[in-house]
Amino acid sequence: GQQLNQSPQSMFIQEGEDVSMNCTSSSIFNTWLWYKQDPGEGPVLLIALYKAGELTSNGRLTAQFGITRKDSFLNISASIPSDVGIYFCAGQTSGSRLTFGEGTQLTVNP
């Protein structure tokens, strides 16, 4: 089946720093999604990307759909303590199920 490689697995940063994480796949996807999960809660959708090359922002978050359709990245600018959590990428081809990355655990030190 399809696999997503998400990196890094974990990040420890200082408040105010920028963060970048990415996902790569051996397969082409038509949709890339980025979710954030807080401890003990369900993932919350941050950004959805539907076109190759698309760059979308949501506040301090920016995500891009790679031009090859096999990768995506998420940037967080000027991190704050509430950015702590696990960030998941997910890819989908038309008519198929979502494939999830294994997550990036983000820790922000005040």
In the complex, the residues that contact other proteins under the rule CB under 8 A are 1, 4, 6, 30-31, 33, 35, 40-45, 48, 50, 88, 92, 94-98, 100-103
Euclidean distance between CA atoms 57 and 35, whole angstroms: 14
By C-beta, is 41 or 82 nearer to other proteins?
A: 41
Q: What length does the chain have?
A: 110
Q: Kindly state the tokens that stand for 78.
A: 């000027």
By C-beta, is 33 or 108 nearer to other proteins?
A: 33
DSSP designation for 108: E
CB 78 to other proteins: min, Å: 26
CB 98 to other proteins: min, Å: 6
Residue 38 neighbours by CB under 8 Å, 6+ apart: 44, 84, 85
CB 9 to other proteins: min, Å: 8
